[in-house]
Chain A
């Protein structure tokens, strides 16, 4: 028997192996997924993040069984399920539109999956009561689904999908229809749910903030490929590609030439003259001309000369922090974000020449 795959020492719940999905044929063929491989651990909150059309929902639908892959395998607990219909997969989905059954009550919606599994009546009733309690919806059990609010519908959809205790729960942008405040609440709620039930969550979103705050790991997708998989911190601090850096948060780019590589760090001579040490992701050997990425809050603006130098173009006050927009000597733009405190006053003003300290652990070499 082959060794079960592990991610960070945890057993893998779902694995996509070289998955491709092509819609249509001939000229109109659309490659929604292009040789995607990823392993998702048990009890993990895993997020597929990307812009619309990147293939994240397609990957989710392949795991659910609503679509079948053109090639590749989907393994659930080590077993290939790629050809099983959705009703034979121990996987449940929370749909973007919720897709609650309008002819059934809240409680009937929640019990649907259990009934279909042929559970005994007593067990169903107990489980439905338990789910409604978990969602704090006991009072609404006999309401019709058009008599509840959007946030409540969201909870019912969640309860319905969790009731049969699936091995994996798929969530297709479930929060996108909620207003900002409710969304924040539900983010915490989902996190709580995941911790309490111990079920693997695979969450699809195009909202980077949502992805960073909720996930154990994030896969950033674009044009049918997974560009980078890692913890939110990894993805944010050490983006491997320009798309990832761009898609998540604000970013500065610096051009430079690699002078040497040593122990996972590259010595880079910047185009503006400075020389800094930058990290790079595993599996690449940076050489020649490269682009470095530096997050605005990882750099510091100082008086006098530093790693970089430039002129202050604008200073924007944001309450918690201040954005200092500068123009570097080579003409490129660079933004520094500095945290505010009550007494500190910036020692420079618009038009002044300043230095920018990047430091040795702020820059990351991008893959081409």
Chain B
């Protein structure tokens, strides 16, 4: 008799656990099917033998895909050398992404500061304006950018009309074009988290800094920057990661020759018909991102910045 309530309690507890799992099941299924699952598929593809017309030969394993990420074998004498082309694309991608992140930071910081220091009701208008580009499809915006910077485009026509230049400047299909495009596309992703941090910034602390003999630059470096660091970190991550894997912008603005990682991977799955290499490149990209993230986040949190106050 005395056991009954205990038993009932245990059953209720079990039922609760069951219902928790049931409730989170849809989310878990989506995460596994859509994110974790494909990762394993990629991993599997990267260690199989490439098919002649794309795809892979199932069940036949080979390290060729991973080998080709970093090395290449000469087709005549089988000597092994570094895959310079791949490595230079890695390097170009990382470099362009870093420059993009820094550029959006330099442009986005004053913008966010400007918005955060407006009166409350006008701030909302500015934030709204920042989000307007999101209304248009990325591809369309990128093609519009092409119109602006091509040799007969707005910029060159205007500069020629003003007599600043005689010959159109070749911007399109250069790394500059990719950089312009990416900065344009990712700038809002930097401004918004920075603004969110700055809006919470207590500007009386800025006054306190001025009061304690800190000039404008010292206040920026010693007070504002440490306090908005969470927004800075978030913005940098939001810009750096997608720029590293950017595909549309380098393709449309960089032309065929200035490849970035995204384009290289696409090439392997498409015309290159080398799926194992494509899969291995994708995973390499992911590892780079994760290492960069870990490094960055740990570095940022170690300096002890907290967002409140």
Contacts and interface: CB of A to CB of B under 8 A. Distances in A.
Contact of A92 (B205, B212, B305, B309): B212
Given A102-B308, A102-B309, A103-B309, A95 B210 contact: no
Interface in B194-242: 202, 204-205, 207-215, 218, 222-223, 226-227
A164 B226 contact: no
B204 A116 contact: no
A92 to B, nearest CB: 6
A173 to B, nearest CB: 13
B306 interface: yes
**Which of B202, B205, B212 gathers the greatest number of chain A CB atoms within 10 Å?**
B212
A97 B206 CA distance: 13
**Which of A88, A93, A112, A164 gathers the greatest number of chain B CB atoms within 10 Å?**
A112
A368 B209 CA distance: 45
A99 B214 contact: no
B121 to A, nearest CB: 16
A93 B205 CA distance: 12
Interface string A61-104: 00011100000000000000000011110011101010111110
A178 interface: no
Nearest to A102: B309
A66 B305 CA distance: 27
A93 B223 contact: no
B304 interface: yes
Contact of A117 (B208, B209, B213, B223): B213
B204 A65 contact: no
Contacts of A116: 212-214, 218
A113 interface: yes
Given A86-B207, A95-B204, A116-B218, A103 B227 contact: yes
Contacts of B226: 103
A204 B306 CA distance: 32
* Interface size, A (range): 20 to 34
B207 A99 contact: yes
Given A101-B223, A103-B226, A116-B218, A93 B309 contact: no
B309 A164 contact: no
A161 B209 CA distance: 11
B204 A99 contact: yes
A113 B214 CA distance: 7
Contacts of B215: 85, 87
Nearest to A170: B211
Nearest to A105: B304
A161 B62 CA distance: 70
Contacts of A95: 204, 207-208
A100 B223 CA distance: 11
Contacts, number: 68
Contacts of B213: 87-88, 113, 116-117, 164
B230 to A, nearest CB: 11
Contacts of A206: none
A93 B207 CA distance: 10
A81 B231 CA distance: 37
Contacts of B305: 103
A87 B304 CA distance: 26
Interface string B296-309: 00000000111011
Given A102-B227, A116-B218, A65 B210 contact: yes
Contacts of A100: 208
A59 to B, nearest CB: 16
A146 B213 CA distance: 24
Contacts of B309: 101-103, 146
A66 B306 contact: no
Contacts of B214: 87, 112, 116
A100 B209 CA distance: 10
Contacts of A103: 226-227, 304-306, 309
A140 to B, nearest CB: 17
A40 B210 CA distance: 23
Nearest to B308: A102
Interface in B78-95: none
Contacts of B227: 102-103
A135 to B, nearest CB: 17
A160 interface: yes
A93 B209 CA distance: 10
B258 to A, nearest CB: 41
Interface string A142-168: 000010000000000000110010000
Interface in B174-209: 202, 204-205, 207-209
B210 A99 contact: no
Nearest to B204: A99
Contacts of B204: 95, 97, 99
Contacts of B304: 103
Given A86-B210, A112-B212, A113-B212, A99 B306 contact: no
Contacts of B209: 101, 112
A271 B152 CA distance: 96
Given A99-B204, A101-B223, A103-B226, A164 B308 contact: no
Given A103-B305, A103-B306, A116-B218, A85 B223 contact: no
A92 B223 contact: no
B308 A99 contact: no
A101 B205 contact: yes
Leading 10 A-B pairs by shortest Cβ distance: A102-B309, A113-B212, A116-B213, A99-B208, A86-B210, A103-B226, A99-B204, A116-B214, A93-B211, A87-B213
Given A102-B308, A164-B213, 5 more contacts: A66-B207, A85-B215, A86-B207, A101-B209, A112-B212
30 contacts: A64-B211, A66-B210, A85-B210, A86-B210, A87-B212, A87-B214, A87-B215, A88-B213, A91-B211, A92-B212, A93-B208, A95-B204, A95-B207, A95-B208, A101-B223, A101-B309, A102-B205, A102-B227, A102-B308, A102-B309, A103-B226, A103-B304, A103-B309, A112-B212, A113-B213, A116-B214, A146-B309, A160-B212, A164-B212, A164-B213
